[in-house]
Structure 1
């Protein structure tokens, strides 16, 4: 193992609150880790979105922010970075990724059309359905099996795509949404061969591919490590080759791009670009800033170049795997193989003594915080929400707790602490009781739902 390819210039104090304080805090939060105050959290593994540590060069770049309303030089720096690293000609900045999802779904989906994806993501599916579209899961079956050793569980099952086209006609498909390093499947990557296969299938049907490129760099690294023929290819080269197979992408810069806020929509489609430029002015801001300050665009531009450094990305993913190995070696059930941004604990196997209706993953996330002050998040029944048509609860095959590692933030000693808490809880798992939901928002309920012990 090699050390991190950076050294620390600044630190932020964190404090472990007492067990009594943690019990009080989780109860006040309705046993929902999203509703905890950050000051009550010791190690925060809720998300890797916007929780990154920026580099000295990014902070220096923020001092060069051009806050002109139109045509700020930082926009052109960002445009150049996107063109050079992702390969797309046209750029529409947004304040974060879900704004790019909103613009894309509103412009590209006609009511009743389908959007096949390699497993859903919460906000992506919400935007698709709000636009009148219908999500279709076309991921390979192994993605739903937490014990499968398939190295590319993010792959699309072409047979599922074909069945959708045969049943409804290719014209019923608005676009194919591909998420390299599928979050809800455990950060599982797609192979380059599979992305090429999807592109070959889509082209004669005239169906565009739009990437959710949020964690595409982590996917590129896992291709480098797992797919024959790419071991000596740089991550930057792999990323650009993958993006060239799509018409465009939406991006939450708060992940791969190593910043705390920002996003964009990028495309080679001139007509889509023209329409997106018009819409971004209505919902975000002028097309040369789109909801971001000039200083934030500069930080994103510099982060794009830093993210494709092979030494950095090896260290980033390596820390995730370091935590995963400790849990697996101790017998804690996790989703395998470990992906690129998080370790997903299999709550169904961890809390098999609880009925599924007791919200196993939500219960485990609350118990982890109570035990150690570590904040994680549920990825299961609560996140899946209700079907917009029937109103019935969706029942995903994966019921997990996501231990999400922020980039360049924690040391491996922090990971040791997290691992020990998970191991201790697993050894005493029968003491964990379930939860019942007592407040449920109409959409994206996992953010604000409240629970109480059964």
Structure 2
């Protein structure tokens, strides 16, 4: 079966409307319907394109597959009737699914990312273009070319952003993908830093503040050093690994 990861379905529909020939006059709702009609099912994190604080679901259009999923649920979580979301959270999801397809909201959200990407690019900071819907991505390996990939330039950028301006970012690179099951380590294909934008939180002044922090980090980037991992779990180390800065 073809299962869609639908956590950012509205942002993807916005890009279809903006970028694909013949789609510009269509509503976001109609594009979303066409997207899901092509799939056999969907997974959804409601904390993303549903504006909710918690929750999610698996939906399929095959009764036999749904029964298999419920059986697996019993093995891993319990009976479907054992719990679930509170009524307040279900209401929030229902309202969020309605509001997320508002084109004025989507236009503002995407434009915020575009604005930051344009400013960083103008400063000479390498970024992934075109700008995405949920985040800004900085090419840390290219920006901090003096730091070897196995010394985690993405982590160096993330730490600098937090120390300079309190901005929390996420390394998506060698820390996340570089270690093989046998424990060996090779550089990932890229070392990016993701700045995921909260929904309905940031104003223009917040976007300008992010740019100002990058300006400060840009001035000190040649003095930044790499990091080493001093403690890591056997799996998914990027969530809980501990680091120490390397000496210059």
* Smaller-chain TM-score bracket: over 0.9
Distance 2:78 2:136 in 1: 37
Task: Give the conservation status (yes or no) of the 8 Å contact 1:381–1:396.
Answer: yes
Matched pairs, number: 246
Distance 1:235 1:407 in 2: 18
Hey, which bits of structure 1, 4+ residues long, moved more than 3 A? 281-286, 288-291
Structure 1 segment 46-195 matched on structure 2, within 5 A: none
Selected match of 2:50 from 257, 263, 280: 257
Structure 1 segment 25-424 matched on structure 2, within 5 A: 208-284=1-77, 286-287=79-80, 291-388=84-181, 390-393=182-185, 395-424=187-216
Is residue 443 from structure 1 mapped to residue 235 from structure 2 by the alignment?
Answer: yes
Distance 2:76 2:102 in 1: 34
TM-score scaled by length of structure 2: 0.93
Distance 1:268 1:394 in 2: 41
Distance 1:453 1:342 in 2: 26
TM-score scaled by length of structure 1: 0.52
In structure 1, the gaps of 5 or more residues are 1-207
- Point out which structure has higher relative CO (alpha carbons under 8 A, 6+ apart): 1
Give RMSD over aligned pairs: 1.6
Q: Counterpart of 1:374 in 2: which secondary structure?
A: coil
Change (3 A) 1:231 1:343: same
Match of 1:427 in 2: 219
In structure 2, the gaps of 5 or more residues are none
Change (3 A) 1:234 1:289: farther
Structure 1 residue 324, shift from structure 2 partner: 1.4
Change (3 A) 1:298 1:429: same
Distance 1:288 1:298 in 2: 19
Distance 1:215 1:288 in 2: 28
Q: Counterpart of 2:112 in 1: which secondary structure?
A: helix
